[in-house]
Amino acid sequence: MRCLVLGAGGFIGTNLCRGLVAQGCFVRAFGRRQSFPELLTGCHWISGNFSDPTSLATAIQGCDVVFHLINATTPASANLDKVADLEANVVSTLRFLEICRETNIKRVVFASSGGTIYGVPNLIPTPETAPTHPITAYGISKLAIEKYLSLYEYLYSLDYRVLRLANPFGPYQTTLKNQGVVAAFVHRALSGAPVEMWGDGSVIRDYVYIDDVVDAFVLAAFHKGSNRVFNIGSGEGRSLNDIVAAISRLLGYEVNVYRRAGRSVDVPVSVLDTELAISDLHWVPRIKFDDGLRRTIEWMKSAGV
C-alpha cells in the first residue's frame, strides 16, 4: 500500500508513519514541520502547507490511501476565530478532496473528533449514532468535513473512513500545541512544577493510547463493509483528578495542582462507545491506561522534552 500521511510531523502522524513503515508500506509524510525528524527516517518527507494545493497535489500523486490528520486549530483557538477555523480546515479539505477526485486515490481516512463532535452527550458512553451538537467551531468543522466526505463518495465514489478519536496520548506528544492533557500534566510533573488545571478537575474524558489509535487507522485503511464512521477510544471515563492521581502513583510523589477557572469549550463528560470499531473494524485495543501512562512517562523522561 502506498500511503500519504497529512500532518505527518505531529503526534498522531509521527506514530502512524512509524506504524505504517513497520507494516512494510511505502509512506509519504506531508506536513509543515517534523517534531522528531529522526523518527521518520523510513518515510519520504514532503514539507508543505495543507492550504497550498500545489505542494499537496505533488504529495498525493501516486498514492492509494491518504490519512488526513491535519488540524490547523484547537478546540479553544477555533472559537476565537471561527472564520479562520472554517477556512483553514474545511475549505482546505474541500480543495484537497478536489485533488483526490482528479487522482487515483482509493481511500481517504480522516481523523475526526469524538470529544467535540457530539457536544454535551445525552448518552454515555456515546455511540456513533448519537446527535451531533458541537459546542466548539472545531467540532463543527470536523462535522462538516465528515459530511463532505460522504458527499464525495455519493457524487464521485471517493471511498473514505472516519475515525472519531477520543483523547489520544503517548510518546511523541509534546506540549507545544496546547493540546493533550496527559502530555501537559506529565511534563509539568516531571519538571517539578504544579500541573495547570481548568475547573475543579471533575471534567471526564476518554484517554486512548496512541498505539491503539495507530492500529485503528491501519484497520480503517483496509476495512471492507458499509460502515464509514467509527469511534476510537478506551470506552472508559477518567477525570482530570484521576489523571493527576495516576501520575502521582506512578511517579511515587504527590503532583501539585494549580487550579484555573473552567472553560466554556469543555463538555463535562466525553466517553465513547467503541463497540462498532471492535465488532466491525476488528479493532482490539491492547494497552491499558496505566501501562500507556507508564510508557508515556518513560518516553518523556528519556526524551527530555
Residues labelled as active-site residues: 138
Number of residues that bind a copy of itself (CB under 8 A): 27
The closest of 190, 186, 183 to 169, measured between CA atoms, is: 183
The answer to whether the Cα torsion of 153, 274, 280, 43 is positive or negative is positive
Residue 261, interface with a copy of itself (CB under 8 A)?
no
**Residues 48-107 contacting a copy of itself, CB under 8 A:** 79, 82-83, 86-87, 90-91, 94-95
CB of 241 to a copy of itself, least distance (A): 25
Binding mask 120-149 for a copy of itself (x = CB under 8 A): ---------x-xxxxxxx--x--xx--xx-
DSSP per position, 33-75: --SSGGGGTTSEEEE--TT-HHHHHHHHTT-SEEEE---S--H
What residues between 11 and 50 interact with a copy of itself by CB under 8 A?
A: none
Secondary structure of residue 204 in the 3-state scheme = strand
Neighbours of 45 (CB within 10 A): 18
Query: CA-CA distance, 187 to 36, in Å (whole number)?
Result: 17
Instruction: Please say which residue, 136 or 296, places its beta carbon nearer to a copy of itself.
Output: 136
Enumerate residues 178-217 that contact a copy of itself by CB under 8 A.
none
Find the DSSP H helices in the chain.
11-22, 53-60, 75-80, 82-85, 92-102, 137-156, 181-190, 210-222, 240-251, 275-280, 289-303
Rounded to an integer, what distance in angstroms lies between the CA atom of residue 142 and that of residue 69? 11
Between 140 and 182, CB nearer to a copy of itself: 140
Q: How far is the CB of 138 from a copy of itself (least distance, A)?
A: 10
C-alpha cell at 140: 463543527
**CB 94 to a copy of itself: min, Å:** 5
Closer residue to a copy of itself (CB): 146 or 236: 146
- Give the nearest distance from C-beta 81 to a copy of itself in angstroms: 10
Cβ-based nearer residue to a copy of itself, 225 or 252? 225
DSSP 8-state secondary structure symbol assigned to residue 25 = -
Separation between Cα atoms, residue 65 and residue 217, nearest integer Å = 11
Nearer to a copy of itself, 144 or 190 (CB): 144
Residues that bind a copy of itself (CB under 8 A): 79, 82-83, 86-87, 90-91, 94-95, 129, 131-137, 140, 143-144, 147-148, 150-151, 154-155, 264
